[in-house]
Amino acid sequence: MAVVFESTIKMLEGSNKDWYIELRDTVDNRLEICLDLKEYSKKVEELGSDYGGNIDEVKWMKDDNVPLHIMDNLRFEMSKLQAEIEEETGKSLINEDS
C-alpha cells in the first residue's frame, strides 16, 4: 500500500489574498484544512505518524482561481520552511537519489 497525500491550494471564498491547503490522506480519505504552512507541516507529520513517518508521495495541486502571486509567495515561504527544517535536523528533505 502506497501512502500518498494530496495537497490542494485553494482560495477562501470571496478572497483574492487568503488561501488554505486542503490535505487529504488517500489511504483512509482523512481531510485536514491548513491555514498556513506551519499548520500544514504539523498535520503532515501527524498524519504520517500513522505510517511510521513513511510517506511515499505528496501530490500538489491548486485550484484554477489561485493567483500567480499567491503561488509565488507560497513557494518562497515553503523554501524558507524547508531551510529551517533542514537546519534543525541536519538532513536534506529532498532525496537527491530519486
How do residues 34-43 score in pLDDT, each as one tens digit?
999 999 999 9
pLDDT above 60: residue 25: yes
Total residues found in the chain within this entry:
98
For Cα atoms 62, 25, 60, give the angle at the middle one, nearest 5 degrees.
25
Identify the pLDDT of residue 98: 47
Identify the pLDDT of residue 6: 98
Answer whether 0.75 is exceeded by the pTM: yes
* Residues linked to residue 11 through DSSP beta bridges, in sequence order: 19
5 contacts 21 by C-beta, under 8 angstroms: no
Segment 32-89, tens digit of pLDDT: 999 999 999 999 999 999 999 899 999 999 999 999 999 999 999 999 988 988 898 8
The DSSP-derived string for 7-47 is: EEEEEPTT-SS-EEEEEEETTTTEEEEESSHHHHHHHHHHH
